Amino acid sequence: MNKKMSTDQIKNVLAGITIPPQPQILVDLQMEQAMPNPDIHRVAELIAQDVGLSGSILKIVNSRFYDLTNQITSVKQAVEILGLESIVNITNGLSIKGEMTDETVVAMSRFWDSAMDVAMVAARIAKHIGFQSPDIAHTLGLFHNSGIPLLMELRPDYLSIAENSYAGHKERIIDTENSEMNTNHAVVGYYVAKSWNLPIELCEVIAEHHNAEKIFNSTQFESYDSYKKTLLAILKMSEHLCCTYRVLGRQPEDFEWEKISSGLLEYVGLSLDDFDGLSDAITLMGIGGEDYYPI
């Protein structure tokens, strides 16, 4: 039997969650919940497409209220544990935050689109290279840029800063953010993920995901944890194939990928031909390609 939380308990656990859910996802969830026999698997599928909802669900299921022995990282598993009634209460509570202006929805759409695509592709790549936990890769892909909405709230011009960050040939993407804001989305994302009770390995990969050049090209990182390094490789391949440099950076080229691709592909044992084949497969999913997300 599912353990149920009151509205007040849900509100307390969700305190600090500030990433608004996609309006369309909330509509789709409400439509599913209104069906005579709602499909909890469809509900899980919808939630897994949204950063804010997924984070809220994982934070609740990993809270002291449930006191589970093992940490939950799969949205599907979390939904099954919480049960449909609690899920309805949670999503209804979050829908109150749907007071976004049209301008905010448009600005947020770039973040939502990128997060969903990177998550799906990360799971696909994880299976392709034989990584043991595609669900973990999906979770990382969904949450890796979770610091962005908070910085958008802090700085209305954040997306312009992000575009300038991706335009750099030599410096790291986060260097521009550091100089403009004295922080960056990777650091903020680390603390968001930590507050959601995600595994510390995922939090650390989120913090390091724009330090990939050092991790894959520098000898001083040869002893870097292999599990985290593989997750980071999956994430960076996913970001490149999903054209994050176009969606968030509005740049025609992926300068970060150019600096890390050789060492990264060697690490995961993929040749350029292998990666091109993977890229073609992702394009067939409707993601990536030269004309993806016009800038």
The pLDDT of residue 1 is above 60: no
Cβ proximity of 268 and 230 under 8 Å: yes
Report d(CA 225, CA 240) in Å as an integer. Answer: 22
- Residue (of 199, 187, 212, 220) closest to 268 by Cα position: 212
C-alpha 88/C-alpha 18 separation (Å) is 19
Evaluate whether 231 touches 136 at the Cβ level (below 8 Å).
yes
Position 4 pLDDT exceeds 80: no
State the Cα–Cα distance between residues 268 and 69, nearest whole angstrom. Answer: 32
Q: How far is CA 27 from the centre of its chain?
A: 21
For 26-79, the pLDDT digits (tens) are: 889 988 988 999 999 999 999 999 998 898 888 888 888 788 888 888 899 999
Q: What pLDDT is attached to residue 2?
A: 56
- pLDDT over 90 percentage in the chain: 52
In the chain, which segments carry CATH 1.10.3210.10?
102-284
pLDDT surpasses 90 at 3 = no
Per-residue pLDDT at 130 = 95
Distance in angstroms (rounded) separating the CA atoms of residues 22 and 52: 8
* Amino acid 218: pLDDT: 81
102-284 has which fold?
Answer: Hypothetical protein af1432 (1.10.3210)
Q: Which residue has the tokens 């990282």?
A: 73
Predicted local confidence at residue 21, as pLDDT: 83
Choose between 244 and 101: higher pLDDT: 244
Answer with the residue of higher pLDDT: 75 or 3: 75
How many helices (H) and strands (E) the chain has is answered by 18, 0
Instruction: Check if the beta carbon of residue 154 is closer than 8 Å to that of residue 142.
Output: no
Of the listed ranges 25-39, 83-97, 179-193, the least confidently predicted one is 83-97
Predicted local confidence at residue 14, as pLDDT: 47
pLDDT at residue 195, rounded to an integer:
81
pLDDT at position 66: 80
pLDDT one-digit tens code per residue, 99-157: 566 777 777 888 988 999 999 999 999 999 999 899 999 999 999 999 998 888 888 89
